[in-house]
Structure 1
Amino acid sequence: MKIVKPQLALSPAAKAIAGLLAVSAVLVMLMPTRAVSADDKKAAAPKPALTVTTTRPSTTTLPVTLTANGNVAAWQEASIGSESTGLRMTEVRVNVGDVVNKGQVLAVFQSDTVAADVAQAKAALQEAQAAAAEASANAARARSIQASGALSAAQISQYLTAEATANARIAQAKATLSAQQLRLKYTQVTAPDSGVISARSATVGAVVNPGTELFRMIRQGRLEWRAEVTAADLVRIKAGTAAVVKAANGSEARGKVRMIAPTIDPQTRTALVYVDLPPSTGMNAAFKAGMFASGQFELGTSSALTVPQQSVAVRDGFPYVFRVNADSRVSQLKVQTGRRLGDRIEVLSGLTPDTAIVVGGAGFLNDGDLVRNVPATAPAPAPRTAAR
């Protein structure tokens, strides 16, 4: 029995395509093979994503500081009041912000009535002295003839008593004169110390009672920074520690710790550290009593591992550096940063001193990128200034 295989019928278009494929296969087989050149390999190699320069961390000496905030206040204030009674103020010679010296007259009260009382007290003293002179003369004569018996003992005692009484009246007149002279002195309000007038309530024409405050003064113009420091950091600060205080307008002043408060606030758990500031006078002074200021306590120096600031890239709130591996690819390393000094940043963890890291262009890299490392060029030397 003969088996007949079925044959598929092809369309003319299919036959044409099959023929073209057969011819192409024959041509490919007949073409000579060509060796791959170096240019072809170079073209096929991956291209670097960025050209970068690298560096290694270096050990630098950095200052150890402690940051704190606080208020600026007067070192000491003096309250200057009135000591006169029932006198009218006729003149006010200073105003807020004026710099005054010790003993300078600040205000004047009407002194006519007091001057008249002083003159009256002087006259009373002269009268008492005259009466005392006569009594002394009589007592001297009585003593001289006491042995002769010309005067009785009662008369002699009378003369001696009159002398003592006259001397007592002199003492009384002197005390009265001193009191009136003191009243005359109080008609002029003087500064008890040198300093700056910080407040004034004196008004021309006012009649004030004794003890009423007329002026308030910052003694010697001295200010202090009252920094608030936590109990944990308080042991690091001692009397004499240097501090740099920064005012609201950016001005800085150097001071020293004068004293540390003996108690800690139970509400805030902080203690006040008193830092003496340089004298600040004038309306345009950088530091004024009552202003808020921040500052740093200088606690010494220590060695630290630092990297250039531009080598640190911040992503998602965390700092990273990029390490260049042997295959010219970078690895992203998470680090912990600390102090800053100029363009250097301290690295506390996550990096070793022998690690090569990317300096420029770190912000444009991703983990695993291929880079081309170019040696960093040394900075050009600064031009010399011609000697004059």
Structure 2
Amino acid sequence: MKILVYSVLLLGLSMSCSSEEKDATLSQKPIQVTVSQSGASSEGAYASASGKLVAKNTVNVSTRMMGYITGMKAEVGQNVNAGQLLVSINSTDIQAKGGQANAQISQAQANYNISKKDYDRFSNLYKSQSASQKELDDMRARYEMAKAGLDAANAMKSEVNAQYRYTNVTAPISGVITAKYAEQGDMASPGMPLLTIESPSSLQAQVLISEQNITQITQGMSVKITLKSTNQEVPGTVAEISKSSTNTGGQYMVKVNVAGSQNLLPGMFVNIQFPFKNAGKVNQDFQEGVMIPKSALVEKGQLTGVYTISSNNTAILRWVKIGKDFGDQVEILSGLTAKEAYIVSANGKLFNGAKVSK
């Protein structure tokens, strides 16, 4: 009998509490909210791709000489100017060739002087009919051979001088040394890279685009670039579009010039959003631009949602799947359709079923 009375009392209390909560919900004053529409900041369909920043001007410094490196005046991170001496290579062999070339020039010059005098003498004798035509022809042949020998010796000297220039390697451009492949005392060989110089004043973003999207990207198109590390947004312009995907795994390389890249560094990862204007109907190959502010998101544990408004003007928590970040905006992959109203901010605490007013 006591158990029955206790159960009746609990049932009565439960019904009383439920009634009170219902009355409280009915008597709740509507919460003032600010409403927006998903995709309001987007201009239609878009394609996005991830990549990294690279220096537009990158040079691998090498030499045409083989020899030991006797001087290395370069370190990674060092700023250099065009024409600045960076690497010196042992020039003993070149000096020996230079001495040989000088000796050959002296010998050729002497032969040339003698043959020229003989030719001039026999020319005067031939005019006075004191020498035959054959003798004059022989002197002319000796003179031309001596002249050719002198030209060859001078050409060899020019070649040696050209090789001298490769024993002192200078910076071809102004920039920053980003890589160093040899040290003082190492053996340098022709074509072997010694240093890499990048010019960070002019950066490009390189991304790979799928074949469904590449046809909609045009040279000169304005794009939005987002740095993944800081969410900083900078404008960009499409500079180069590869028309072949043979060497890039079925995707197409697109290079984008970055504006205002003074504080950026090569190697930073970025996300690029390529916008496409809608002409009535969105191309099914592209994603609809569903973007909302990050401030509108509600996080509970590992779930992320956003409050929408029902037909009865009550708040409804909708779970969504988010995609890439674009500064203070975030991409919604699912859970919220384009142009669907959602709550951006409220003057009170929102919960499921809370009355709201715009």
Cα deviation for residue 188 of structure 1 reads 0.7
Specify whether residues 55 and 161 from structure 1 end up closer, same or farther in structure 2 by C-alpha distance, changes over 3 A only. Answer: closer
Q: Is the 8 A contact 2:55 2:200 kept in 1?
A: no
Q: How does 1:1-388 map to 2 (within 5 A)?
A: 48-53=27-32, 62-64=41-43, 66-75=47-56, 77-85=58-66, 87-112=67-92, 114-115=94-95, 117-218=97-198, 222-250=202-230, 251-264=232-245, 270-277=251-258, 286-289=264-267, 291-299=268-276, 319-323=306-310, 330=314, 348=338, 359-361=346-348, 363-366=350-353
Cα 1:359–1:348 change in 2 (3 A) is farther
TM-score in terms of structure 2 length: 0.68
Partner SS state of residue 272, structure 1: strand
Q: Secondary structure at the match of 2:338?
A: strand
Shift in alpha-carbon separation, 1:313–1:161, aligned structure 2, 3 A? closer
SS in 2 for 1:62: coil
Task: Assess, with a 3 A threshold, how the Cα gap between structure 1 residues 150 and 54 changes in structure 2: closer, same or farther.
Answer: closer
Quote the offset at 1:174 in angstroms: 0.4
Whether the 8 Å contact between 1:319 and 1:337 is mirrored in structure 2 is: no
Q: Give the total of aligned pairs.
A: 317
Name the larger-Rg structure: 1
Could you tell me whether the CA contact under 8 Å between 1:61 and 1:301 is conserved in 2?
no
The answer on whether the counterparts of 2:123 and 2:136 sit within 8 Å (CA) in structure 1 is yes
Q: CA deviation at 1:92?
A: 0.8
Distance 2:86 2:259 in 1: 25
For the residue of structure 2 that corresponds to 1:203, the secondary structure is: coil
Whole-angstrom distance in 1 between the partners of 2:277 and 2:222: 10
What is the rounded CA distance, in whole Å, between the counterparts of 2:120 and 2:38 in structure 1?
Answer: 99
Cα pair distance change 1:76/1:63, threshold 3 Å: same
Return 234-243 or 180-189, whichever deviates more. 234-243
Query: What secondary structure sits across from 2:256 in the alignment?
Result: strand
Is 2:227–2:271's contact at 8 Å kept on the other side of the alignment?
yes
CA–CA separation in structure 2 for the residues paired with 1:109 and 1:310: 61
| Counterpart amino acid of residue 293 in structure 1 | V
Deviates more, 1:166-175 or 1:198-207: 198-207
Q: Give distance in 1, aligned partners of 2:157 and 2:212.
A: 63
- Percent identity over the alignment? 21
Verify the 8 A CA contact 1:54 1:358 in the aligned structure 2. yes
The Cα shift of 1:228 comes to 3.1
How big is each residue's C-alpha offset from its partner over 1:319-354, in whole Å with a ceiling of 9 and x where there is no partner?
Answer: 4433585xxx748597999999979999735569xx
Note the C-alpha offset of 1:312.
8.3
Cα shift readout 1:64-105 (whole Å, capped 9, x = no counterpart): 3543212333445433222123x3321111122233333332
CA–CA distance in 2 between the matches of 1:167 and 1:56?
93
Q: Distance in 1 between matches of 2:349 and 2:147?
A: 100
Q: Say which is worse superposed, 206-215 or 110-119, in terms of deviation.
A: 110-119
The alignment yields a C-alpha RMSD, in angstroms, of 4.7
Partner letter of residue 259 of structure 1?
A: E
Distance in 1, Cα, partners of 2:234 & 2:327: 19
Q: Is the CA contact 2:226–2:326 (under 8 Å) kept in the aligned structure 1?
A: no
Contact map agreement 2:317 2:351 (CA 8 A) in 1? no
TM-aligned CA deviation for residue 227 of structure 1: 2.1
Unaligned runs of 5+ in 1: 1-43, 377-388
Q: Give the letter aligned to residue 70 of structure 1.
A: G
- Of stretches 114-123 and 304-313 in structure 1, the one that deviates more from structure 2 is 304-313
Distance 1:243 1:232, change over 3 A: same
- Call closer, same or farther: CA 1:115–1:49 in 2, change over 3 Å: same
Q: Which amino acid aligns with 1:295?
A: I
Q: Is the 8 A contact 2:228 2:270 kept in 1?
A: yes
- The structure carrying a bigger strand percent of its residues is 2
Which structure would you say has the larger RCO, counting Cα contacts within 8 Å and 6 or more residues apart?
Answer: 2
Offset of residue 244 of structure 1? 3.1
Conserved in 1, the CA contact under 8 Å of 2:31 and 2:356? yes
Amino acid at match of 1:184: Y
Shift of 1:287: 2.7
Distance apart, 1:135 and its partner CA: 1.7
Gap runs ≥5 in structure 2: 1-22, 280-288
Q: Distance in 1 between matches of 2:25 and 2:42?
A: 46
| Residues 235/359 of structure 1: CA separation in 2 closer, same or farther (3 Å cut) | farther
